Structure 1
Amino acid sequence: MRVYVSADADDRQAGFVGGRLVERGAELRYLDRDALPTYAGLDAPDLLVLLGSARSAWADDQRDVVASEAALVRDALDAGTPAMGICYGGQLIARALGGTVQRAETAEFGWRDVASIDPELCPVGPWAQFHGDSFKPAPTSRVIGTSAAGCQGFVDESLQARAIGWQFHPEVSGTRFSEWVDELEGFCVERGGDPDALRREAVAYADTGRLRAHDLTDAALAWLMM
């Protein structure tokens, strides 16, 4: 299974989700989202995965990067290649399909439960949250999870291949989450987070999300490849 992973050049960590894909026979090929090829330049992909990012999909200074990645998503889905997006990656898929992304009224940090109408494709959690933006999926999409901050999960079957996106981070370990807090402490404080409390929470949860992430990855693959 040939899986292309769109990510920032300085954060190519697909974590628990990437690990499970490899266990399922995937070869991960990373793409720099600042210099993406066209879909025609990819070598027969079986799946497109879009990871998270500290950037904002609504920001003017990211317009060209967002447009390039959205075009890649649309072309992949039109060609029959399914797509999976995490946090910023989920927002990009929503944008590509006609949804919108905006600065969230309420930022979310830490491990939180979500309200779900699909316990397989969007289990209640708890899931790691680390975002200050929110999004509305396209009219063709079906929302499968929500929180007070907005959509937490959606699926779409409007093109030649299926797409799924989550706002939360099933891929992240406690160790990696702590690194995010260290790297983006100013952002956390600005948006109402408590960095010290988040570090304690990361230690408490540590790697307990691995099995949940593996189950979710399995369920998503089964649905995407139908």
Structure 2
Amino acid sequence: MRIVVIADETDREGGYVTERLRQLGGTVEFVDRGGLPDRADHVGSGPHVDLLLLLGSHRSAHDPRHVHDVMAESAWVRDSLADGTPVMGICFGAQLMARALGGHSYRMDVPEVGWVRVDTTDPVLCPAGPWGQFHHDTFVPPQHARVLGSTWYGPQCFIEETHGAKAIAWQFHPEVVPEVYAQWVDEAKTTVRAAEADGGELVREARRLAPQARTRAFALVDAALDYLEVKGGTAVS
């Protein structure tokens, strides 16, 4: 599998998700979302792309300061699906995908942080968790998307099929490892305070849940690849 991952230049951390993709035979290549190259030029330089993965970001998809980068990444989403390449998005990636396909995103009054259980209608593509959360933005899904899960704060997963290609997006963070979650808590103290959360307890919970989180993330990646009809190799432990 050739997997193209769009991420912030300073945050190329795919955690459990890219770990599992590599186990399944994936070749993961990162592209910086700041100043994205033209998609046709980039993907044309190598083998067929089997999956486009959009990771999270410190940005907001609706922030006018990032409008040009958001438009460029949205074009990658639409062009990939039109080309038959499935797309997977996480957190900011889910918000951007929603906007690219006709929905929108906005800032919530209160951020959602911590390890949260999701109300789900599809325990395979959107298991209940608990899943790591760390976001102040949410999204309204595209008109023809199917929402599979939600929390009190908003939608947590949607799927959509267009041009014969499929997309799946999660607001929560299946990929996050304890070290990265601790870094978020340290770097975004105002977000933690706004959520009236205890930063130390958030980090302790991330560490305590790490073994189960990794297992859940691996199962979720496997289920998503099956839904997206992406064929991997044999997993290597």
Tell me the CA shift for residue 58 of structure 1. 1.0
The runs of 5 or more residues in structure 1 that have no matched partner are none
- Preserved CA contact (<8 Å) 1:174 1:207: no
1:27 aligned partner, one-letter code: T
Aligned to 1:150: 154
CA distance in 1 between partners of 2:57 and 2:191 (Å) = 13
Aligned to 1:6: 6
**Match status 1:65 vs 2:62:** no
TM alignment of 1:73-112, pairs within 5 A: 73-112=77-116
Aligned to 2:39: 39
CA distance in 1 between partners of 2:95 and 2:207 (Å) = 28
Identical pairs, percent: 46
1:58 aligned partner, one-letter code: H
TM alignment of 1:48-197, pairs within 5 A: 48-197=52-201
Aligned to 2:205: 201
Number of residues of Structure 1 aligned to a counterpart in Structure 2:
226
Aligned to 2:28: 28
Match of 2:225 among 194, 198, 221: 221
- Preserved CA contact (<8 Å) 1:74 1:96: yes
- Preserved CA contact (<8 Å) 2:111 2:194: no
CA distance in 1 between partners of 2:19 and 2:210 (Å) = 16
CA distance in 2 between partners of 1:207 and 1:7 (Å) = 25
User: What is the aligned-residue RMSD (CA, Å)?
Assistant: 1.3
Tell me the CA shift for residue 191 of structure 1. 4.3
Tell me the CA shift for residue 140 of structure 1. 1.1
CA distance in 1 between partners of 2:195 and 2:58 (Å) = 13
2:65 aligned partner, one-letter code: D
**Comparing 76-85 and 98-107, the one that deviates more:** 98-107
CA distance in 1 between partners of 2:16 and 2:27 (Å) = 15
Tell me the CA shift for residue 91 of structure 1. 0.9
Runs of 4+, deviation exceeding 3 Å? 190-193
TM-score computed with the length of structure 2 as normaliser: 0.92
- Secondary structure of 2:106's match? strand
2:3 aligned partner, one-letter code: V
- Secondary structure of 1:37's match? coil
1:39 aligned partner, one-letter code: R
CA distance in 1 between partners of 2:156 and 2:4 (Å) = 23
- Preserved CA contact (<8 Å) 1:36 1:68: yes
**Comparing 197-206 and 83-92, the one that deviates more:** 197-206
Tell me the CA shift for residue 23 of structure 1. 0.6
- Preserved CA contact (<8 Å) 2:113 2:132: yes
1:96 aligned partner, one-letter code: A
CA distance in 1 between partners of 2:189 and 2:211 (Å) = 21
- Preserved CA contact (<8 Å) 1:107 1:192: no
Tell me the CA shift for residue 143 of structure 1. 0.2
CA distance in 2 between partners of 1:51 and 1:144 (Å) = 19
Aligned to 2:235: none
**Comparing 77-86 and 103-112, the one that deviates more:** 103-112
1:38 aligned partner, one-letter code: D
**Comparing 213-222 and 33-42, the one that deviates more:** 33-42
